[in-house]
């Protein structure tokens, strides 16, 4: 199957952008709410799963093909952005709750 | 796009306000020795609402996904679109004398004033 490389790149960039934004915002929210240890990680994975669900519902409504496998919508960039999440989480937690 | 950027900035403001509220509440609860109490409900709701709003804005800024099968996009192009090569357009050939607004070159400059074959007439230049 011939692919359009420009659109493949655009989709990957769009997915990466929203995943990164989710980590940054989610980290801020977890810090504000003062989540600690396992609760913070659970919050991140819940938010990521929710974003994946939203994407799955969006893509099931249109008949186009956007990724080679639909699994990519849910699982890609989740663990790459976990570290961004931890960074923002600890930073905002420190700003709000410690000082 | 501009609208959703405004929404994103607004929700960041909401989150910042929530963070400030929590910091303030933490300060007073520490002073009154009620350190074990959990955060008030209204601040939690405000934080989650700001998060949701920000994510909606981010999803709209990130934009729709585009089709990756090359055949889908190609099938919408006509043959004229595909064979169109703007770099190979020639305007300055002898048939331009047939144009209604053709101005013949002045005889005094004949020979010297001939423009190049690939020169584009001014009316095609925006």
Query: What is the reported pTM?
Result: 0.75
- Among B22, B46, B62, give the residue marking a domain's end: B62
Asked if residue A1 belongs to a domain, the reply is no
For residue A80, give its domain range: 15-98
Asked if residue B25 belongs to a domain, the reply is yes
Minimum-distance CB partner of A65 among B47, B62, B68: B68
Asked if residue B35 belongs to a domain, the reply is yes
Q: Is B57 found in the same domain as B104?
A: no
Number of domains in chain A: 1
- Residue whose C-alpha is closest to residue B55's, from B15, B24, B22, B115: B15
Q: Tell the burial category of A26 from Cβ atoms under 10 Å away from its Cβ (0-12, 13-18, 19+).
A: buried
Asked if residue A47 belongs to a domain, the reply is yes
Asked if residue A89 belongs to a domain, the reply is yes
Any CB–CB contact under 8 A between B48 and chain A? yes
* Residue A89 predicted with pLDDT over 80: yes
Average per-residue pLDDT for chain B: 84
Tell me the per-residue pLDDT of A34-79, one tens digit each, with 9 for 90 and over: 888 899 999 999 999 999 999 888 877 777 788 888 888 888 899 9
- Residue whose C-alpha is closest to residue A21's, from A56, A47, A59, A54: A47
Residue found under tokens 């699982």: A75
- Tell me the chain B residues in contact with residue A52 when contact means C-beta distances shorter than 8 Å: none
Asked if residue B81 belongs to a domain, the reply is no
Asked if residue A8 belongs to a domain, the reply is no
């Amino acid at each position: 199957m011939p692919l359009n490389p420009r659109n493949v790149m655009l989709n990957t960039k769009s997915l990466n952008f929203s995943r990164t934004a989710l980590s940054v915002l989610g980290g801020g929210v977890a810090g504000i709410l003062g989540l600690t240890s396992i609760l913070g990680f659970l919050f991140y994975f819940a938010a990521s799963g929710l974003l994946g669900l939203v994407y799955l519902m969006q893509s099931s409504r249109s008949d186009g093909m956007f990724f080679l496998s639909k699994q990519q919508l849910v699982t890609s960039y989740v663990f790459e952005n976990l570290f961004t999440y931890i960074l923002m989480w600890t930073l905002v937690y420190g700003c709000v709750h410690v000082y | 796009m501009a609208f959703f950027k405004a929404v994103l900035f607004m929700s960041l403001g909401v989150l910042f306000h929530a963070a400030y509220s929590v910091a303030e509440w933490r300060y007073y609860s520490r002073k009154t020795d009620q350190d074990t109490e959990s955060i008030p409900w209204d601040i939690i709701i405000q934080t989650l609402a700001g998060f949701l709003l920000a994510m909606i804005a981010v999803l709209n800024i990130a934009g729709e996904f585009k089709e990756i099968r090359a055949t889908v996009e190609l099938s919408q192009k006509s043959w004229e679109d595909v064979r169109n090569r703007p770099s190979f357009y020639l305007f300055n050939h002898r048939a331009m004398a047939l144009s209604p607004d053709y101005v013949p070159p002045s005889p005094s400059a004949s020979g010297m004033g001939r423009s190049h074959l690939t020169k584009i007439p001014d009316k095609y230049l925006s």
